[in-house]
Chain A
Amino acid sequence: MSTPTPPLPRWADLILLPIINLFAAFFICGLIVLAIGENPIEAMGVMIKGAFVYSGGLGYTLFYTTNYIFTGLAVALAFHCMMFNIGGEGQALIGGLGAALASFGIGLYLPAPLAIPLAVLGAFIAGGIWGVIPGYLQAKRGSHIVITTIMFNFLAASLMVYLLAGPMLEAGQQSPQTAKLAESTLLPKMADILSPLGFDIASTPLNASFLIALGAMAVFYVLVWHTRLGFNIRSVGQNQEAAHYAGINVARTIIITMAISGGFAGLLATNEILGFNHKVVLNFTAGYGFTGIAVALMGRNHPIGIFLAALLFGALTQGGGELDFEFQSITREMVLLIQGMIILFSGALAYMFNPPLARMIAKFVAPKDPANG
């Protein structure tokens, strides 16, 4: 290395670089659309209209955004501790189980103001359990968290298939699903919440879970940057040995981190199950757990960034559905492709544009104090 790469200014690292990575991902996807024989600009327009302009589009977008916020926070919290949680998918599934058990167990006996928090807690705890086991195995037994969480995704799927097709199957049902959850544990729709306040919005699946997601973001922020636990989490993430030397219980921190991380993922069930499906169905997680990785990466593990990234993915998911109606040969699966590209560019290839960009900026912005470079 003859010329050391100058450090990237903070604004460029936080704003410019993500935009460049995003642009690169869209550019490649655009080329693929072009190769298929459709107009990428037109496709983009359809997606934007579908996500924001059409009546109810925004509601649906925010509904999907809610899912992505939960899984994004889950992945991001684990990232702060340098743990790679790709088990969001399984944790969210088990979160659905927890919500359902809570709903069936207590929903009949309690009024909504008491039953809803308990059902939400059920989702959080169940997801947390599915996260804490891999966390424990990593911290105490040294099994690699990536592989264990992958395995736990499959275990969760098997367990849910067994339960939904067996013990929890609704009587007289053919397709694997539970009976309708107790009425008192269902989350109200945002349209119903807002209309008494004078806001008239289109009725969409968007429900009170969106507010829970916003709350989770705030909790995340306070937890990571303003509590002792958060400090421990970040210390362990930066350097396990140093953290241990400073008297932090590394194993305990990892286990707690994974419990909360799993809990965040489990909260996805509040949106999909308590807020929308109103019963547990198979595969309601639909890949949100994996996309959470992209959300956390793009959002730089910060709640605000995660919200923006989740909004982007929510818009893509909703707008992608619109492609089905408008085009012959491109469909909503285009979104999977875009997601994959975004993970590739803003995650795996995160360092590709960094050095050239830093050199370019350094050329234009004269260093203030060369001795301090």
Chain B
Amino acid sequence: MADFLYQLLLSFDATLRIATPLMLCAMAGIFSERSGIVDISLEGKLLSGAFVAAAVAAVTGSAWLGLGCAMLAGIFMSLIHGFACITHKGDQVVSGVAINILASGLTIVLGIALFKRGGQTPSLPRDDRFTPIEWWGVDMMDSVPVIGTIYRQLISGHNMLVYVALLAVPLTAFILYRSRFGLRLRAVGEVPEAVDSAGISVTWLRYRALIVGGALCGIAGAYLSIAQGGNFVREMSAGKGYIALAAVIFGNWKPLSAFMACLMFGFLEAATTRLEGVDLPLIGEVPTQLMLAMPYVLTVLLLAGFIGKPRPPAAIGKPYHK
């Protein structure tokens, strides 16, 4: 039993690590989509962030500079998205697809040109990465049963960006529901005409939402390449941006629910890796692919109204014409 609990704890620990980039991207998606802009370009921004973080950290030897530039890269991609869909009222899905393909191509082309390693960046030494932070009193708490283990494994011992992601969730909720900017942001995603007639710029609001989202995706990218991993590899975002988008929808465009969805999707993946090849009583061997496909299955079922009713922002996907 104790062993089972310990295994479960390790799964939760892995869940948190897997869910970190999802949480950051999901919050980015919420900012953008609540302002009325469809954001399937989360994937591309995540990938750009990962590349820029690793490239800058490799060249300068500073993880912090890597993080900063990754955020700028995410913002830059967001601005392209905004330029196309806000300024020129282009199709938001088309623009998102373009950005994802651009990010795919650009990271490989620049990676090869800069480092000549087939699109990878050099491995970073430990000092140039965000390494796990051991919290105060871990050794002391060890003597306390259960709580000591939880404290050591689950709460302490993650890198800084995991905690940033965990903070991003309540912060997003606070900004969305308790700040003037958040109120306007929600309004512009529902009835942009009302925001406009109140004398507030729809364009500038939506741009700001995209910029915040870009920065968050950049952080998520940096997490992949200079915190969880030690270099950039081609296509390292591997669909995480899309899973984050699924989490946004699954969470009904609400920060806390989307956070729970990220944890659930993360747990499914963590459990899959843990249970691979294990024979469970009653169920038998766990079908890995089915477990990994669960986020997509669940999102489809949700969207089809089989698990509740999704309520997207009313003005989503529609360019605003004055």
**B147: chain A residues within 8 A (beta carbon):** none
Instruction: Please state if B102 and A146 are interface contacts (CB–CB under 8 Å).
Output: no
Write the nearest CB–CB distance from A288 to chain B, whole angstroms. Answer: 12
> With A158-B289, A161-B289, A329-B116 in contact, is A290–B303 under 8 Å at CB?
no
> Does any Cβ of B come within 8 Å of A110's Cβ?
no
> Does any Cβ of B come within 8 Å of A14's Cβ?
no
> Does any Cβ of B come within 8 Å of A155's Cβ?
yes
Considering only CB atoms, which chain A residue lies closest to B107 in the complex? A333
Interface of A is mostly: helix
- Give how many A-B residue pairs fall within 8 Å (CB-CB): 151
Instruction: Please state if A347 and B98 are interface contacts (CB–CB under 8 Å).
Output: yes
Give the contacting residue for B105; candidates A148, A340, A347, A348; CB below 8 A: A340
Q: Mark B278-322, 1 if CB is under 8 A from A, else 0.
A: 000000000111101100110110011100001010000000000
Considering only CB atoms, which chain B residue lies closest to A287 in the complex? B101
Instruction: Please state if B40 and A146 are interface contacts (CB–CB under 8 Å).
Output: yes
Give the contacting residue for B95; candidates A36, A336, A338, A348; CB below 8 A: A348
Instruction: Please state if A154 and B98 are interface contacts (CB–CB under 8 Å).
Output: no
> Does any Cβ of B come within 8 Å of A293's Cβ?
yes
> Does any Cβ of B come within 8 Å of A330's Cβ?
yes
Q: Mark A329-373, 1 if CB is under 8 A from B, else 0.
A: 111011111111101100111111000000000000000000000
CA distance A343 to B38 in the complex (A): 17
Instruction: Please state if A352 and B113 are interface contacts (CB–CB under 8 Å).
Output: no
Instruction: Please state if B95 and A347 are interface contacts (CB–CB under 8 Å).
Output: yes
Instruction: Please state if B293 and A155 are interface contacts (CB–CB under 8 Å).
Output: yes
Binds B, one of A94-102, A115-123, A135-143, A226-234: A135-143
> With A158-B289, A333-B105 in contact, is A351–B303 under 8 Å at CB?
no
Q: Mark A137-175, 1 if CB is under 8 A from B, else 0.
A: 100011110111011101100110110000000000000
Instruction: Please state if A146 and B305 are interface contacts (CB–CB under 8 Å).
Output: no
> Does any Cβ of B come within 8 Å of A114's Cβ?
no
> Does any Cβ of B come within 8 Å of A297's Cβ?
yes
Per the 8 Å Cβ criterion, residues 11-47 of A in contact with B are 32, 36-37
Give the contacting residue for A32; candidates B100, B109, B293; CB below 8 A: B109
**A343: chain B residues within 8 A (beta carbon):** 94, 97-98, 101
CA distance A297 to B95 in the complex (A): 12
Considering only CB atoms, which chain A residue lies closest to B103 in the complex? A340
Write the nearest CB–CB distance from A347 to chain B, whole angstroms. Answer: 4
Chain B interface size, as a band, is: 35 or more
> Does any Cβ of A come within 8 Å of B191's Cβ?
no
> Does any Cβ of A come within 8 Å of B91's Cβ?
yes
Instruction: Please state if A147 and B289 are interface contacts (CB–CB under 8 Å).
Output: no
CA distance A293 to B40 in the complex (A): 14
CA distance A151 to B101 in the complex (A): 18
**B289: chain A residues within 8 A (beta carbon):** 158-159, 161-162
CA distance A240 to B259 in the complex (A): 36
Considering only CB atoms, which chain B residue lies closest to A347 in the complex? B94
Instruction: Please state if B109 and A351 are interface contacts (CB–CB under 8 Å).
Output: no
Considering only CB atoms, which chain B residue lies closest to A146 in the complex? B93
CA distance A338 to B106 in the complex (A): 10
> With A84-B93, A333-B109, A343-B98 in contact, is A143–B290 under 8 Å at CB?
no
CA distance A351 to B85 in the complex (A): 10
> With A336-B108, A350-B90 in contact, is A36–B113 under 8 Å at CB?
yes
> Does any Cβ of A come within 8 Å of B70's Cβ?
no
> Does any Cβ of A come within 8 Å of B28's Cβ?
no
> With A148-B303, A162-B289, A336-B101 in contact, is A349–B246 under 8 Å at CB?
no
CA distance A113 to B99 in the complex (A): 44
Give the contacting residue for B88; candidates A146, A335, A337, A352; CB below 8 A: A352
Instruction: Please state if A333 and B90 are interface contacts (CB–CB under 8 Å).
Output: no
> Does any Cβ of B come within 8 Å of A86's Cβ?
yes
Write the nearest CB–CB distance from A38 to chain B, whole angstroms. Answer: 8
Per the 8 Å Cβ criterion, residues 117-136 of B in contact with A are 119
**B297: chain A residues within 8 A (beta carbon):** 151, 155
Give the contacting residue for A347; candidates B89, B91, B112; CB below 8 A: B91
**A339: chain B residues within 8 A (beta carbon):** 101, 105
> Does any Cβ of A come within 8 Å of B271's Cβ?
no
> Does any Cβ of A come within 8 Å of B104's Cβ?
yes
Instruction: Please state if A141 and B305 are interface contacts (CB–CB under 8 Å).
Output: yes
Write the nearest CB–CB distance from B269 to chain A, whole angstroms. Answer: 12
**A161: chain B residues within 8 A (beta carbon):** 289
**A137: chain B residues within 8 A (beta carbon):** 300, 303-304
- Which one of B83, B93, B110 has the highest number of Cβ atoms from chain A below 10 Å of its Cβ? B93
Instruction: Please state if A337 and B105 are interface contacts (CB–CB under 8 Å).
Output: yes
Residue contacts A-B, CB under 8 angstroms, 17 given = A36-B109, A144-B312, A146-B93, A147-B299, A150-B242, A151-B299, A152-B296, A152-B300, A159-B289, A161-B289, A162-B290, A329-B116, A334-B105, A336-B108, A344-B84, A347-B97, A348-B95
Query: What residues make up the interface of A, taking CB atoms closer than 8 Å to B?
Result: 32, 36-37, 84, 86, 137, 141-144, 146-148, 150-152, 154-155, 158-159, 161-162, 287, 290-291, 293, 297, 328-331, 333-341, 343-344, 347-352
Q: 8 nearest interchain CB pairs?
A: A336-B105, A340-B102, A337-B105, A348-B95, A143-B303, A348-B84, A348-B90, A340-B101
